[in-house]
Amino acid sequence: MDAERRAPAQPPRLPAAGGRGGRGARRLGSALVDPGLRPPVSQGVSRAARDRHDAAVRLAALLPTALAAALLLVPTLPAHPADAGPSATAASPLEQRLAAHVNRARSRQGCRPLKHQAALHGSARAHSALMARHRRLSHQLPGEAALGTRLANAGYPGSRRMGEVIAAGPMSAQRTLRMWLGSPPHRRLLLDCRFRLLGVGVVESGPGQRWWTIDLVR
């Protein structure tokens, strides 16, 4: 189940991690994690389930059927990233800062730092660009492949575990990470020591409006 929310021109404020309204806080995207060991599930949800998910911070706990089924069929293979030659777009200073903040938070938990991969970076930035174009916070935009397919196209078809967190708003890299870490599902994903690689994509669609994506692969 892909979590989806439409981002207004001026999104509502979210409480900071400590429970108070944070200055400049904006909407936090949902965390999507695929452990690769779950059975396929239906994409349909009840009205009550939709109501429970109508919160600013939402967890996509159920996976798209095709993604879950495909991951059950593949063996655990070494990741083979797509060509990251000179033509690969370099990470921006803002993206580099976010990756550095994530790795510092992981080191405090005893996790090894995540290694930046150009192919994952390209996938994450492309997803942020689509969110900016549609002005919608979602793990799957119209005409876009699901997370598992996107990361397979980036060169990681045999990865057993993959994840994604998204957000929208004018926050700094440090503030965005604090918001994610203040949400239990996002925190569990970003501080999961089993992940080894990441790609960060940040796209600006106007003054003070940023769209954030982090893709993670084991």
Number of domains in the chain: 1
Q: Which domain holds residue 18?
A: 4-217
- For the domain that residue 80 is a member of, what is the CATH number? 3.40.33.10
Q: How far apart are CA 174 and CA 39, in angstroms?
A: 36
Torsion (CA) 180, 186, 190, 191 in degrees, nearest 10: 100
Query: C-alpha angle with apex 78: 74 to 84, nearest 5 degrees?
Result: 115
Predicted local confidence at residue 32, as pLDDT:
54
Does 166 score more than 90 pLDDT? yes
Does 210 score more than 70 pLDDT? yes
Q: Which has the closest alpha carbon to 175: 151, 207, 210?
A: 210
Q: What is the pTM of this model?
A: 0.65
Model confidence over 172-181: pLDDT tens digits?
A: 999 999 999 9
Mean pLDDT of 102-125: 96
Q: How far apart are CA 76 and CA 158, in angstroms?
A: 6
Q: Which has the closest alpha carbon to 116: 192, 198, 212?
A: 198
Residue 18's pLDDT band (cuts 50, 70, 90): very low
Rounded to the nearest integer, the mean pLDDT of the chain is 70
Does 208 score more than 60 pLDDT? yes
Model confidence over 66-89: pLDDT tens digits?
A: 222 122 223 333 333 333 333 346
